[in-house]
Amino acid sequence: MSGVAEGKRAVRRAVLDARAALAADDVREAPHALARHALELPELADARTVAAYVSVGREPGTRPLLDALRVRGVRVLLPVLLPDDDLDWAAYEGADGLARAGRGLLEPAGPRLGREAVTEADAVLLPGLAVDAAGMRLGRGGGSYDRVLARLAAAGARPPLVVLLYDGEVRDRVPAEPHDRPVLAAVTPTAVHRFGGAGGT
């Protein structure tokens, strides 16, 4: 294993341990604070289609944000994990339209729109574990979103990329590899962090 890969594993472990230790009140309040900050982003103000995701476990909660976007009239696309770990997409039709899938994930039960549907997004909200001062995002390591970002680049699509995190997960540096792409911003429960104009694909 390369030094970068080992470094990523170490940061992932540290972040997941920190998330496991979060107070229940912080976990409960974070989704509403994240939604407030995210909805103030100019990149979301005029978005007609936003690709997002349903948080699970100790991830920063996304449900209030998904519902607020839908109330705004935004078409929200949510991922559907495929057997090869790539992502298909389906429209969010509200909490009642979510079904439990493999790996504990919640996915929309409606019609699948295809892997390329993400290229229609005006903004993409990404899960992550950490981001650094250059906007380099650290994911869980499954590679699903690496494929999504590569698909956007191949299609010439450059939607703003925004990662949703807890406070303390914005770091000076995270290990990065050549295929990693920077995000435009990170939203935490207390702030929006912007990174040097990066964040198209």
Q: Could you give all domains of the chain from N- to C-terminal order, each with its CATH number?
A: 3-194 (3.40.50.10420)
What pLDDT shows up at residue 24? Answer: 93
User: Would you state the structure tokens that stand for residue 137, as one six-digit string?
Assistant: 């995002």
- Enumerate residues 6+ apart whose C-beta is below 8 A from 64: 31, 32, 34, 35
Instruction: Name the DSSP class of 182.
Output: B
User: What does the pLDDT look like over 100-134, one tens digit per residue?
Assistant: 887 788 999 999 999 999 999 999 999 999 999 99
Q: How confident is the model at residue 1 (pLDDT cuts 50, 70, 90)?
A: low
- pTM passes above 0.75: yes
Instruction: Count CB-CB contacts under 10 A for residue 31.
Output: 20
Q: How far is CA 146 from CA 112, 140, 177, 199, in A?
A: 20, 11, 11, 14
DSSP class of residue 194 equals E
- Share of residues in the chain with pLDDT > 70 (%): 97
